[in-house]
Amino acid sequence: MRVAVDEDRCRGHGVCFAICPDVFVLTDDGYAEVPEPEVPAALEHSAREAAENCPERAITLS
């Protein structure tokens, strides 16, 4: 599974990082980034939960 954050939609709530810090990181400005878009199988559930809980729906999974 791959994950991406839409930089135009992210508002820096940090929910994704709180749920899945092994996939998402926060920039110095507090916005989410994904340093490694390929999500290991063991983290897929957490990454999916982060995407489902993003208030801005800025996270896409494929």
At 62 the pLDDT is 96
End-to-end CA distance of the chain: 6
Domain count, the chain: 1
> Would you state the structure tokens that stand for residue 40, as one six-digit string?
């290991």
Beta bridge partners of 33: 25
Q: Which domain holds residue 41?
A: 3-61
CATH of the domain at 9: 3.30.70.20
Say if pTM beats, i.e. exceeds, 0.85: yes
6-58 per-position pLDDT tens digit? 999 999 999 999 999 999 999 999 999 999 999 999 999 999 999 999 999 99
